[in-house]
Amino acid sequence: MAYIVYFNIVRAKTIVNSPYNERQDAFADRVIRGNIADRNGNVLATTEVAEDGSEVRSYPYGAAFAHVVGFSNSAAGKSGLESIENFELLTSNSFFVEKLMNEFKDEKNMGDTVVTTLDADLQQAAYNALGSNKGAIVVMEPGTGKILAMVSGPAYDPNSVESNWDVLNSDDTNSPLLNRATQGQYAPGSTFKVVTALEYMREHSDYANYSYECNGEITADNVTIHCFDSTVHGLEDLRSSMANSCNSSFANIGLSLNKTSYRKTAEDLLFNKKLPSVMDYSRSSFKINEKSTSADMMMTAMGQGETLVSPYHMALITSAIANGGTLMEPYLVEKVTNYNGTEISKNVPKSYRKLMTSDEASQLKDYMRAVVDEGTATLLSGQSYTAAGKTGTAEYSLDDGEKTHSWFMGFTNVDNPELVISVIIEGYDGDAGAKAVPIAKQVLDAYYY
């Protein structure tokens, strides 16, 4: 009996969700695919039934939710929540009498509704802020793990995926089907200085006494690291090094770090590890080992080198910092109801893992607050909400010259953190903060004002 129950409840979901399972068709023959809604009840995906009984999946918000909600159609298959929650959407918990009547009339039952944690207004604001840029934005609650917005660009209109499938699937230049929020891999740039600072704190209990005289550059083993625009920052401690995003200071720190310990700290923060995620994602990588050179250590400490990370992963790290060191299990589905709104199941916040101590998180919060109050993200200061964060510039070379990816990771209401935001903008010419921070501000302003 136990195996039968397991098969009916657990394996049935796995089998139905398999894109290769013909039983999906059998479910669809009996059930009208249910709605996907945001946390306020706004419909994000629904099934429209014509007079002749034909069904068309419709997405009222178009491209804004393309990657997180995904699509469902006979030609292209399924993606995003449409794929992940396929079993729930093709399950009907309508009342028994109603099911009996539908059976008698040879009519379909209404599928259940998946109510997400997403906020349609915030998602739309993030989509508008990203605009025509290639990149991604993730917004979540650090205290609960609820994901409120997840945008990737370029996007596509899920209403026309079937007719545009060949074009979308063959566009290797823009990769519109790629969810850059979870699957994009980028050098973290100066956002990684948060990780480097944490490792320095762990190796040096007297980190408050750190002192460095920045002359605009530092050289080791014939490799020279420059500060942005060769700025001379002068005498700095760890807090001002973070606020100024001083490359020379962090390269200096990198030269002093224990390679094995540095790798362990990165892996404590889930580099080279599985991430808690229901969405498809790319695993972040951290390559420092005992054979790493001084140049490797300097470059890695300031967020260049071979380190790769997704915007989603940086949002998780920021969430742990904002939440006193504890990462809450991130989730996208608030509850499942029948089509009349009767609750069938509900997710609740739960802890995933302690990534750092509360003291370490508190110190990093202070450093990130300095970035906003007096450093590279002052555009976010003086608002009705307080903010803390870290900007980043990740440089890379193309045939037509040097480009940068623009980063910002941060959180609002520093004393009682409310929102975490992670922003990546690809291929920007210039100062990263000049691009990513205004976009983050546009999203946050839409939420608070």
Structural domain boundaries in the chain: 183-332+348-448
* Among 430, 423, 415, residue whose Cα is nearest residue 444: 423
**Architecture of 183-332+348-448 per CATH?**
3-Layer(aba) Sandwich (3.40)
Three-state DSSP class for 170?
Answer: helix
Q: Are 117 and 137 in contact (CB under 8 A)?
A: no
What is the distance between the alpha carbons of residues 312 and 446, in angstroms, rounded to a whole number?
Answer: 21
Q: Which residues contact 201 (CB under 8 A, 6 or more apart)?
A: 207, 238, 360, 363
Dihedral of the CA atoms 328, 330, 336, 341 (nearest 10)?
80
Task: Report strand pairing: 343-346 vs 333-337.
Answer: antiparallel
Q: How far apart are CA 190 and CA 446, in angstroms?
A: 26
Q: In the structure encoding, which two tokens stand for residue 363, read together? A: 């110190």
**In the structure, what pLDDT confidence band is assigned to residue 291 with cuts at 50, 70 and 90?**
very high
User: How many residues in total does the chain contain?
Assistant: 449
Q: What is the pLDDT of residues 374-433, one digit of tens each?
A: 999 999 999 999 999 999 998 776 666 677 899 999 999 999 999 999 999 998 765 545
Lowest-pLDDT range of 46-50, 73-77, 84-88, 280-284:
73-77
Q: How far apart are CA 205 and CA 219, in angstroms?
A: 26
Q: For residue range 144-193, what is the model confidence (pLDDT) as tens digits?
A: 999 999 999 999 999 999 889 889 988 888 999 999 999 999 999 999 99
DSSP line for 201-246: HHH-TTGGG--EEE-SEEEETTEEEE-GGG---EEE-HHHHHHTT-
Question: Two tokens at 380?
Answer: 């976010």
